[in-house]
Structure 1
Amino acid sequence: MTTIPVFYTITDNYTPYAGVSIQSLINHANPNRDYTIYVLVQEISEQHKQALKNLATDNVHINIFHIDDELLKPITNTKENYLRGQFFTMAIFYRLFIPELFPQYDKSIYLDADTIVNTDIAELYDTDLGNNMFGSAPDLSIRYMPLLQEYIKQCQGIFPPEKYINNGVILFNLKAFREKKFIDRFLYLLGKYQFDNLDPDQAYMNEICEDYIYHLDGKWDTMPNESIPPIKDPKIVHYNLFFKPWHFEDVQYGNYFWDVAKETPFYETLKQELANFTDADRQKQRDDLEKMAQRVKEIEQTNTWAKVKQQGEKIKL
């Protein structure tokens, strides 16, 4: 039986959220199909490692995969690689190396740890990508934020900005990534330009693969967004940006997270995290949205993707 490979990339402190996401995937897995989950991490405690492995079932296997420090040496802790200008974490780049690290697979799924799966993930895996390099949904977290729309146009140089995808849910054509030598182009551009981005790894995927992206329906990457009515029957909920259900009680789609969390060994820890998160902490999260806006203004003054493309540099594969 062919296995469906599913990847998560985390830091150790994200283990509880990844555990809830994995449990949601298991809840909807087809008992007649086989799934193998890989959790990519540089360091993880033995307790967290065992807790994740204990979630496995007869047909959903869970492997912890250590990312070699040497592999990530070209990626440095500089402000250009800070996620949304907020913090640096190497984990956001792990997903870009999946095609090279797992040559035994020609196709796979990647999920951010802050996701909840509400359907059989095999349905996504069975999607025909054609000659596209990957499939992802448009980034709904920026759809109603004019400043970020302007950032996509002016700094990324992608038109219309609505086509800009979020890579928290990815259906990978791993074979195409290897054949088109994506990682070589990524490392070349990273080393030459050190582009300043709000979302470093996501920007590289949007730019390099621009002509080879399969746009999934938004139900596959449904994000909390108070500017639009809730999407009915989301296939995957992605708690993108700053408002997480383990920090805010009234997050849109938060019920999906807590319904699954109750089934996991992480439930009490997560409830305690919510209880310990103060009003001051929540205000800081809201302030981070303003900081992100300020970051956009800073990026406009730097070596942007749009400027480099205007100079004639070949970005797209």
Structure 2
Amino acid sequence: MNIIPIVFCFDDRLILPAGVCITSLLEHARPDTFYDIFILHASSCSYPSTGYLEMLHERYVNFKINYRNVGTVFSGAFEIRNITVAAYYRLMIPDVISEYDKVMYHDVDVIFREDLSELFNSTDMSNYYVGGVSFTGGLQKQERAYLSKLQLNWQEYILSGNLILNLSLLRKDNIVMQFKKEVERSKYRYQDMDIINIVCKGKIKRLPPVFCGTIEIFELASKQQRQSLYSPAELAAVLQIGIVHYNGPKPWNTYCPNMDLWWEYYRNSLYYDPQFYFEFFYLKLDEYDRLPLLKRVKILARYFLKGRLK
């Protein structure tokens, strides 16, 4: 039996996406894969006592859910772009989960399309604190300048939404304490992601982009754009089997790339609500007509200018 420990951190707002995310995880589990799932949450969260995620036992058997209450840690920490304090909880994983020396972490705005045991077991994390996928922002001059100010190499900077953590080494070097100091010290643009890259600098392992298919990575793959971060073969794998990470617009809120995949898993999940499904798409039929006049003018102007620039 392949036991794969996986950690999620989220608040009550994301309980539905979490249910769909874990559904996709279990749908692709091999017969010999068992997911030991840990969920870090604040004291104020209600979902651990509702049995919402435990509904999945009606359909799947190869998993277990463990809740870990982190109390009010990081209360009042810097928030930006609607990313809440729960994003910082991943920094506590080495101290909160003592059962394992190596775990995966994933955001819940994610759809899995493959069993994760092969990648997890084949990734040697010796002498590395954390493994992740290179940040596409480094391909842009403005983002390179920002990372340079943080004294970070843009080619080594990784995304924090999907990680493999060497808990043994993180504990040995008391890295959680350094994480906490950085949270208190500054208002970083990318919050936990900046902090992980700053503190773990020099001990970060690059993982293939199939492990974290953001919207930007899917764009590179679909357009076959030349760049220096990922190989053509790696990008081809993203299109076929890559983890889909909705790091921008969320498919349960609005239209976005790969939204069809999320809705496919939602429709086939135990959480499917026909009314929610119907109303989401029905309301989109006249969405632009219901926008304020100024907003519509801005949209028209943007597309007019875009056409002129081509």
Greater Rg over alpha carbons, structure: 2
Contact 2:36–2:65 (8 Å) recurs in 1: yes
Tell me the alpha carbon deviations over residues 59-102 of structure 1, each in whole angstroms, 9 at most, x when there is no partner.
21123332222xx1xx3425xx11xx334622011111111011
Aligned partners of 2:180 and 2:38: how far apart in 1?
A: 24
1:98 and 1:273, CA in 2 relative to 1: closer, same or farther beyond 3 A? farther
TM-score computed with the length of structure 2 as normaliser: 0.78
- Distance (whole Å) between structure 2 residues aligned to residue 244 and residue 270 of structure 1: 15
Q: CA deviation at 1:204?
A: 1.0
Cα deviation code 1:241-264 (max 9, x no counterpart): 3x2222333x22222212211122
After alignment, is 49-58 or 117-126 more displaced? 49-58
The 8 Å contact of residues 9 and 87 in structure 2, kept in 1 or not, is answered as yes
Q: 2:235 matched to which residue of 1?
A: none
* Cα distance between partner residues in 2 of 1:112 and 1:200: 14
Q: Is the Cα contact below 8 Å between 2:156 and 2:204 reproduced in 1?
A: no
AA at the equivalent of 1:220: F
- Measured against aligned partners, the alpha-carbon deviations of 1:120-150 in whole angstroms (never above 9, x if no partner) come to 011232121221111110123x245442232
Greater than 6 Å deviation, 4+ residue runs: none
Match of 2:244 among 237, 241, 245: 237
1:255 to 260, 271, 280: 260
Q: CA RMSD in A?
A: 2.7
Match of 2:76 in 1: 77
Task: Check if 1:133 corresponds to 2:145.
Answer: no
Cα offset, 1:18, TM superposition: 0.9
Give the match for residue 189 of structure 2. 198
Q: Deviations over 1:251-284 (max 9, x none)?
A: 2222221221112233337634565675559x7x
Structure-to-structure mapping, 1:101-180, within 5 angstroms: 101-126=96-121, 127-140=123-136, 142-154=137-149, 156-159=150-153, 161-180=154-173
Query: Amino acid of the residue matched to residue 174 of structure 2?
Result: K
| Structure 1 residue ranges without an equivalent (≥5) | 288-317
The CA deviation string for residues 167-213 of structure 1, in whole angstroms up to 9 with x for no partner, is 1001111111101110122223444xx21211211111101111111
Matches within 5 A, 1:217-228: 217-225=208-216, 227-228=219-220
For residue 25 of structure 2, what is the aligned residue in structure 1? 25
Q: What is the deviation of 1:47?
A: 8.7
Provide the C-alpha distance between the structure 1 equivalents of 2:179 and 2:143, rounded to a whole number of angstroms: 23
2: CA distance, partners of 1:88 / 1:247: 15
TM-score (norm 1): 0.76
Match of 2:226 in 1: none
Query: Quick one: percent identity of the two aligned structures?
Result: 25
Task: Answer whether contact 1:4 1:122 (CA < 8 A) is retained.
Answer: yes
- CA gap 1:232/1:87 in 2 versus in 1, 3 angstroms: closer
Select which of 59, 64, 68 maps to 1:65. 68
Query: Residues 169 and 114 from structure 1, CA distance in 2 versus in 1: closer, same or farther, beyond 3 angstroms?
Result: same
